[in-house]
Amino acid sequence: MGSRDSEVLAGLEQCDEAADVPWLSTSPSSFTLGAGKSRTVTVTLTATAAAGVAQPGKYTAELGLRTDTPYAVPNVSVEMNVSPPPSWGKVQGHVLGQSCSGQVGVKAIVRLNLLPDGSGVGVTLHADASGAFAWWLPKGNYQIIVAKDGWVPEATTVKIEAGIVRTSDFMLDADPPCPSGV
């Protein structure tokens, strides 16, 4: 049986799910203010791999503020725009497949290996549901390998130049192939 009475326990009134954003920090992280007072908070944005920023682009978060007042305090939107280093270029493309029922996007694994030796120095990506992929890289020559179970893998070589966006599209054949006449 329910009750018409309820209460809010101190400190539990703001129970939204929050997660740390490694590239965002504040100083101080907590403080107490008296009535009518204010405080400056320094927000620091860190664009490093160690802070979870592996690629240039737009990063967004909301800075939640917790209070014990009866007044609502809105979250503060934070946006960080990371530019690529001057010596980097971008590779992008689509992995499509020719299936027995027509052309489809393939959620393939995309491996980018730095040449000349393809020694494993590189990065592994996953194409999205439409087969799209994109990645910023230091300039150089790269081998691109795309593979997915049920498809014949393909590879090509691409030269990444500073400030240039290269497009490498792939059309995979079904494995096993479609029966003749289909």
**Would you call 99 helix, strand, or coil by DSSP?**
strand
pTM of the complete model: 0.73
What integer best gives the mean pLDDT of the chain? 86
Tell me the pLDDT tens digit for each residue of 23-49: 999 999 888 888 888 999 999 999 998
How far is CA 81 from each of CA 25, 33, 46, rounded to the nearest angstrom? 16, 32, 11
Report the pLDDT value the prediction gives residue 182, as an integer from 0 to 100.
Answer: 46
Length of the chain, please?
182
Q: Which residues pair with 160 in a beta bridge?
A: 140
| pLDDT tens-place string over residues 91-109 | 999 999 988 888 899 999 9
125 pLDDT higher than 70: yes
Structure token digits, residue 57: 């682009």
Residue 4 has pLDDT above 80, yes or no: no
Q: Which domains does the chain show, CATH number per domain?
A: 24-82 (no CATH), 88-173 (2.60.40.10)
